[in-house]
């Protein structure tokens, strides 16, 4: 019989039900309504009720039995030491496109952990391949109505999926998506496109099949595979060219038009990288159906632009004549976002002529120059490429570059160490447009990473943090 893990409370949210009950870090949740809690899915299901009886054991061994009356689905405000309240499940696939297999040696061990845990789909929005999801997991998701479930499809061809994931059960696992659809569980899908494998006619067939899961499969993103310089011994994948990107977009746009006429949704969405690679304009906001796939880099550029413009308009109304700000700052970003940021800062400088904003595109030498997103830049590349540059009053960096909730880059250099090397204050900025404008103008400092919040993050390697 499986031993039930002890669920130790790590933190209690201010003004929460848990705080009112005088629960504290170090307390152990023993049971809810007389039932032991197996993992986070059980916990969220059990606490949904309006009346609860919870048993808690204090550090001195004293047990408290507490009665709670609350609104249905109200959270208790508890954070546990183990976010899953159970062991993390590692990935059983050997995907030909896996980014973690392309990491250089010598990085912290947590970066090499591959997760494929359906519970992380519910908790954090991670995409899962379904190969690690048991029949019991599927039944729990259906019973508990835990949605949306985010699924990495890659292809709907069972044989091709087995080859791409290098798992003989990968094709059979697609049937679990059908069960979720039949049960009316909301899903989002992802296709990591690999040149010569699941593109072209294969992508056409996948979109045909997946569109049949509407309306419960509410969106599918198509993103290009990320290729580092550390692919020795791995499947020979080639990067997409500008012409390739245009063909992919033409295919996606055709499907969008067809499905919008039929269902009133665009359904399939291209990652922003396709538009930037193809040299095409990013679609308008209404094309993104409410930005369902921001964390996959779908619509981030459009939303950022709109937030910046809205923020500038708001400042113009609230602070007329405030354009006398005199200030010089620098922004460092990935090669992909640099042209977008240069265009954006020009609008800010037009409204505030006393501002001088420098944008420094940083080449990713750590992972390889084909990696162009800001979220995978390292402290080492920033330090080497910015040394000797006149950076002004401060250097602004997006929070996407840092480990979640901390000020540590992927190569373990801290923001403080980078600041010391460059002899300039480093400010970590939330990744929304309003926070960006405020940081550029010096209206708000994001000095404490823990208080910065994380609204949208570019995809980067999942880090196992027990």
Alpha-carbon span 188 to 220, nearest angstrom: 6
User: Token pair 């006149």 is at which residue?
Assistant: 390
Element (H, E) at 372: none
Return the residue matching tokens 């970003």. Answer: 333
pLDDT of residue 322: 56
- Residue 108 falls in which region: left (phi positive, over 0), alpha (psi -120 to 50) or beta: beta
Structure confidence at residue 356 (pLDDT):
96
Summarize the confidence of residues 84-110 as an average pLDDT.
75
pLDDT value for 274: 97
What pLDDT is attached to residue 429?
A: 95
Q: Identify the band that residue 266 occupies on the pLDDT scale cut at 50, 70 and 90.
A: very high
Taking a C-beta distance cutoff of 8 angstroms, is the pair 214, 267 a contact?
A: yes
Q: Judge whether 402 and 409 are in contact, CB under 8 Å.
A: yes
Of 4-18, 188-202, 450-464, where does mean pLDDT reach its minimum? 450-464
Over the stretch 5-15, which tens digit does the pLDDT of each residue have? 789 999 999 99
Q: What is the mean pLDDT of residues 142-163?
A: 93
Res. 446: pLDDT tops 70:
no
Asked if residue 466 has a cis previous peptide bond (ω within 30° of 0), the answer is no
The share of the chain scoring above pLDDT 70, in percent, equals 88
With 50 as the cut, is the pLDDT of residue 466 above it?
no
Which is it for strands 187-193 and 7-12: parallel, antiparallel or unpaired? unpaired
pLDDT above 70: residue 200: yes
**pLDDT tens for each residue of 132-145:** 888 988 998 898 88
Band of pLDDT at residue 21, cut at 50, 70 and 90:
very high
Residue 37's pLDDT band, with cuts at 50, 70 and 90, is: confident
pLDDT band at 84 (very low <50, low <70, confident <90, very high): low
Distances (CA, A) of 374 to 14, 303, 458: 33, 17, 8
Domains of the chain: 7-80 (2.30.42.10), 100-297 (3.80.30.10), 303-452 (3.40.50)
User: Hey, what's the torsion of the CAs at 33, 38, 41, 47, to 10 degrees?
Assistant: 20
pLDDT at 125: 53
Closest to 386 in 3D by CA, of 365, 410, 412, 411: 365
| Whole-number pLDDT of residue 463 | 32
Q: According to the model, what pLDDT value does residue 455 have?
A: 31
Quick check: 319 and 437 in contact, CB under 8 A?
no
Cα–Cα dist 35/45, whole Å: 12
Q: DSSP for 241-262, please give it.
A: -HHHHHHHHHHHHHHHHHHHHH
Q: What is the pLDDT of residues 181-193, one digit of tens each?
A: 999 999 999 999 9
In this structure, what are the phi and psi dihedrals at residue 279, rounded to the nearest 5 degrees? 75, 30
DSSP 399: G
> Cα 319–323–328 angle (5° rounding)?
125
- Residue-wise pLDDT for 351-376, tens only, equals 999 999 999 999 999 999 999 999 99
DSSP secondary structure of 28-49: EEEEETTEE--SHHHHHHHTTS
Q: What is the pLDDT of residue 121?
A: 45
Q: How far apart are CA 341 and CA 310, in angstroms?
A: 16
Residue of higher predicted confidence among 54 and 84: 54
Residues 6+ apart with CB under 8 A from 6: 28
Question: What average pLDDT does the structure give for the chain?
Answer: 87
Give yes or no for residue 75 having a pLDDT over 70. Answer: yes
pTM: 0.81
Residue 263 has pLDDT above 70, yes or no: yes
pLDDT at 63: 93
Predicted local distance difference test score (pLDDT) of residue 88: 57
Band of pLDDT at residue 350, cut at 50, 70 and 90: very high
Which tokens go with 269? 């969405």
Q: What is the pLDDT of residue 127?
A: 84
63-69 vs 51-57, strand pairing mode: antiparallel
Whether residue 244 has pLDDT greater than 60? yes
In which residue are the tokens 């546990």 written? Answer: 80
* Lowest-confidence segment of 122-126, 237-241, 296-300, 404-408 by average pLDDT: 122-126
DSSP code of residue 128:
B
Parallel, antiparallel, or unpaired: how do β-strands 395-398 and 426-429 relate?
A: parallel
Q: Residues 305-332: pLDDT tens digits?
A: 999 999 999 998 887 655 578 899 999 9
Residue 435: band (very low, low, confident or very high) from pLDDT cuts 50, 70, 90: very high
Average pLDDT over every residue of 431-453: 71
Mean pLDDT across 285-307: 94
Name the residue among 219, 228, 226, 290 with its Cα closest to residue 252.
219
């Amino acid at each position: 019989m499986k031993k039930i893990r002890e669920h130790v409370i790590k933190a209690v949210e201010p003004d929460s039900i848990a705080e009112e009950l005088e629960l504290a870090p170090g307390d152990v949740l023993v049971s809810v309504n007389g039932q032991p809690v197996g993992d986070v899915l059980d916990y969220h299901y059990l606490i949904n009720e309006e009346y609860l009886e919870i048993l808690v054991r204090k550090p001195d061994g004293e047990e408290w039995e507490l009665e709670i009356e609350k609104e249905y689905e109200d959270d208790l405000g508890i954070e546990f030491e183990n976010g899953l309240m159970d062991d993390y499940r590692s990935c059983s696939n050997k995907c030909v496109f896996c980014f973690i297999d392309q990491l250089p040696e010598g990085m912290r061990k947590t970066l090499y952990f591959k997760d494929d845990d359906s519970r992380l789909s519910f908790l954090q929005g991670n995409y899962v391949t379904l190969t690690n999801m048991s029949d019991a997991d599927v039944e729990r998701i259906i019973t508990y109505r835990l949605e949306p479930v985010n699924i990495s499809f890659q292809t709907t061809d069972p044989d091709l999926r087995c080859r791409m994931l290098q798992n003989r059960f990968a094709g059979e696992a697609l049937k679990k998506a059908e069960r979720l659809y039949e049960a009316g569980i909301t899903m989002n899908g992802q296709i990591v496109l690999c040149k010569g494998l699941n593109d072209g006619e294969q992508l056409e067939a996948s979109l045909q099949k997946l569109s049949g899961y509407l309306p419960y499969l509410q969106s599918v993103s198509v993103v290009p595979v990320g290729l580092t310089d550390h692919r020795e011994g791995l499947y020979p994948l080639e990067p997409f060219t500008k012409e390739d990107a245009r063909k992919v977009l033409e295919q996606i746009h055709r499907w969008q038009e067809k499905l919008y006429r039929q269902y009133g949704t665009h359904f399939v969405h291209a990652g922003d990288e396709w538009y930037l690679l193809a040299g095409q304009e990013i679609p308008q906001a209404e094309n993104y159906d409410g930005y369902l796939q921001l964390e996959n880099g779908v619509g981030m550029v459009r939303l950022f632009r709109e937030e910046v413009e809205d923020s500038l308009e708001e400042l113009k109304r609230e602070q007329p004549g405030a354009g006398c700000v005199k200030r010089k700052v620098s922004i460092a970003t990935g090669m992909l976002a640099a042209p977008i940021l240069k265009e954006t800062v020009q609008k800010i400088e037009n409204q505030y002529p006393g501002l001088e904003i420098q944008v420094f595109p940083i080449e990713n030498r750590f992972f390889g120059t084909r990696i162009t997103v800001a979220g995978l830049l390292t402290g080492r590349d920033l330090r080497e490429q910015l040394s000797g540059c006149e950076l002004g009053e401060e250097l602004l960096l997006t929070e996407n570059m840092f480990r979640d909730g901390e000020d540590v880059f992927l190569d373990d250099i801290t923001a403080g160490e980078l600041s010391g090397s460059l002899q300039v204050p480093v400010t970590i900025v939330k990744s929304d447009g309003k926070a960006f404008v405020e940081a550029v103008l010096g209206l708000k400092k994001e000095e404490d990473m823990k208080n910065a919040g994380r609204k949208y993050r570019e995809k980067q390697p999942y880090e196992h943090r027990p």
